[in-house]
Structure 1
Amino acid sequence: MDKELRQFWKRIFGFNWKLGLVLILIVCIPRFILVLDANATGSYGAIGLIMTISAMVPFLFLSKHGRTAIGITKPRKYSWLIIAFVCGLVASLFLYWLGHILYGNSYENWYGYIGKSYNIPPAINHHDRTIMFIMMAITGMTFSPIGEELFFRGIVHSSFAKSIGEKYASIVNSSAFALTHISHFGVVFIHNKWELFTIPTIIWVLGMFFMSILFFLSRKQSGSILGAIICHSAFNLGMIFSIFYLL
């Protein structure tokens, strides 16, 4: 019997790869479309909604036992929360450095393209830049890390792990995570038309894949999904800092 699922869902699903696949399809495909639309229209309100839905999924589907099983519990190793933060920040700055070396400040630089959605005024003064940075950092360090980690490293990973083991489940959820992020960079909307930056997209997808592995390791080593959330938050902090102050 699948103790991880709420009673209602046991009649429909097992806690296995089939559930994980269904969740990927019903969350990631609409998210992909919504992000592309937001990049074209400049309206990003729906992104917050999809992150909220992602965060709610484990609570809608899982019992208390299931939520504990996916890592919604106290960390076993609090030291790993610090390690996770440092690793996420360093990885983010490395991705900035790589993009800057290869593509400068062009749109082929993943941070450069993502940064255009922030609508930073060209002549913004230092004080206003700092205020805007703090606001974006707070948002970036909360909504997507909580929503994505509860979803990808939480319920999706654990449902696949029940069927194919931790190693292969990590590959599956990392692949889904990385491919979903092509909507953030890869398929780009520039000068009122869609383009695909093939080589930069491949680099970006590989970067997101390995970041996902790092998020999973942070969860595993800390014994809590909080490790993954903190690592992800630090990554976003590094990205936002790079966009505001390094590009």
Structure 2
Amino acid sequence: MDNNLRKFWRKYFSLHWKFGLFLVVLLCVPRFFLVLQANEQGNYGVIGMVMFLSAIVPFIFLNRNGTKNIGLRTPKSIFTLLLALLAGIVFSVVLYFIGDLLYGGSYENWYEYIGKSYAIPENITADAKRTMFIIMAITGMIFSPIGEELFFRGIVHFSFAKSVGDRKASFIDSAAFAITHISHFGLVFIAGGWDFYFVPTLLWVSSMFLVSLLFFKMKQLTGSIWGAVLCHSGFNLGMIYSIFYLL
């Protein structure tokens, strides 16, 4: 009997790699196709629902002991949280410079392609752009970091770690995170048709894998899932700033 699961689920599940795989298939496969659909239709409202579901999954399956064990506890210090935030910002800005160096203003540049979903008007005023940036930054720093980290570095990681240990589990949840993000860049919808950028996709997936490992390291450093969340928030902040002001 697994004392991390809510009583209702104990007769159906145990926390091990099979349960982790079940969760990845349950959420990541539908999410993958929903994001592709959103890219095609230009309607991203459904993504918010995906993030909400990702955030509540741990609370659906885990009891208080379980949520504590996935990292929902007080961080070691404010300093480590600030370090996590800064690490995420630095990674995303470095990723901007790599994309700009290799692909410039083309849609093979991951930030260029992701940025088109923001629909920033060409003749927008500086004040309006700043307001739009603040709104996008706040939402980007809250919803996906909380949803994805509670899911990937939280319950999915913990399930795999019960079978293979923390180190291997971090590679597995990072791989799941990275592959899922091919729907954000890799399979691209441009000029009314689909395309696939092989080399840029390899670079993008590799970067998503590495930043996922960074999120996990920040979770370890802070002793809390909030370290991963803050690092993810920093990454999103750096990405959104790059899209608004550096592209």
Q: Secondary structure at the match of 1:188?
A: strand
- Does the 8 A contact of 1:3 with 1:65 survive in 2? yes
Q: Which residue of 2 aligns with 1:226?
A: 226
Q: Which residue of 2 aligns with 1:60?
A: 60
Superposition map of 1:20-99 within 5 A: 20-99=20-99
- Does the 8 A contact of 1:109 with 1:200 survive in 2? yes
Superposition map of 1:1-247 within 5 A: 1-247=1-247
How many residues in Structure 1 have an aligned counterpart in Structure 2?
Answer: 247
Q: CA deviation at 1:79?
A: 2.0
- Does the 8 A contact of 1:77 with 1:221 survive in 2? no
Structure 1 residue identity aligned to 2:202: I
Q: % of aligned pairs identical?
A: 57
Q: CA deviation at 1:78?
A: 3.1
Q: Secondary structure at the match of 2:75?
A: coil
- Does the 8 A contact of 1:157 with 1:170 survive in 2? yes
- Does the 8 A contact of 1:77 with 1:223 survive in 2? no
- Does the 8 A contact of 1:16 with 1:160 survive in 2? yes
Greater mean alpha carbon deviation, residues 56-65 or residues 74-83: 74-83
Structure 1 residue identity aligned to 2:48: G
Q: CA deviation at 1:48?
A: 0.1
Tell me, in whole angstroms, the C-alpha distance in 1 between the residues paired with 2:157 and 2:78.
22
Deviation digits for residues 113-140 of structure 1 (CA, Å, limit 9, x no counterpart): 0000000001111011000000100110
TM-score (norm 1): 0.99
Tell me, in whole angstroms, the C-alpha distance in 2 between the residues paired with 1:72 and 1:58.
10
Structure 2 residue identity aligned to 1:201: T
Tell me, in whole angstroms, the C-alpha distance in 1 between the residues paired with 2:114 and 2:167.
31
Q: CA deviation at 1:38?
A: 0.2
Q: CA deviation at 1:58?
A: 0.3
Q: Secondary structure at the match of 1:195?
A: strand
Deviation digits for residues 88-115 of structure 1 (CA, Å, limit 9, x no counterpart): 0000000000000000011000000000
Q: CA deviation at 1:201?
A: 0.2
Q: CA deviation at 1:82?
A: 1.1
Q: CA deviation at 1:227?
A: 0.3
Tell me, in whole angstroms, the C-alpha distance in 2 between the residues paired with 1:58 and 1:26.
13
